[in-house]
Amino acid sequence: MNYIKKIAEKGLWNSGKAQLWDFARANQNEESRVEAVATVASICYGRPAKDAAKLVERLWSESGGLPSSAFEFIRDGRSPTIEGSLRNNPDLVPYENDPSESAEALIERHRKSIATFRIKVPIFVARQIMRHRQFSYQELSRRYTDDKRVPLDFWIPAEGGDTETATTGLFQLAYTLEKQIYRLLLDSNVRADIARAVLGTGLYTELWMMGDQEAWRNYFALRLDPHTQVEHREMAQVMRDLLAEHQPEFAMQSP
């Protein structure tokens, strides 16, 4: 990719992860906008777009001429909130067309005001995360993909503590049954969007998450609190640590 970059990644649990990404050049020009939107939207299908421009064109047309949710990831330092995104402001000016500031100045301002992650978490954590309404989100969809393209992957708790009575083996047994029933449904020509109903909240999902300073400040204040569910708090801490290490110009302004 020419404009959108993965900065760093850290794993947790058995196969969860948090990736910090740099979207500061997403609004540099029309080419960068296409790359950013296609990169974000492709998570729904479990694979990169074969033709980014065609995917973006289809997203425009399917939304009745209005940008779809993936367009919320086109923001800049002048208007870092969701309301200032390309989805909500179709007249958003690319950096190359800005009459008053250099592209590099705007890119630097973006890094100071906006942070973007791609994370892999169990669904029970993802649903808590998405209660934070100030963020832009895009998620893997089991409606558009199946276990052949994106294998089913389940969160496994560490033994001890809360799992003393519900051992790891019981979790693995439950997940094995889910996989078998899901595959039987698909083999019986049940649509993927219906078959997914048998998959529980221990299944991993992946999502993009972008927010401005206010959004992240509120998120960390709530989700690093000792009363937050342990697994969610662990993910929030990993994201906070990645920001502090790799995007300090943003993290210095966060609690």
Beta strands 204-212; 16-22: pairing state: unpaired
Question: What is the signed CA dihedral for 137, 89, 248, 135, rounded to 10 degrees?
Answer: -30
pLDDT at position 161 is: 58
Going by C-alpha positions, the residue among 138, 132, 137, 139 that lies closest to residue 215 is 132
pLDDT at position 186 is: 97
pLDDT at 162 over 80: no
What CATH number is given for 5-140+206-251 in this structure? 3.30.1360
Whole-number mean pLDDT of the chain?
A: 93
Q: Where are the domains of the chain?
A: 5-140+206-251, 161-198
Whether the Cβ atoms of residue 35 and residue 110 lie closer than 8 Å to each other: no
Residues 6 or more apart whose CB falls under 8 angstroms from that of 176 comprise none
pLDDT at 60 over 90: no
Q: What is the pLDDT of residues 223-253, one digit of tens each?
A: 999 999 999 999 999 999 999 999 999 976 5
3-state SS of 187-253 is HCCCCHHHHHHHCCCCEEEEEEEEEEHHHHHHHHHHHCCCCCCHHHHHHHHHHHHHHHHHCHHHHCC
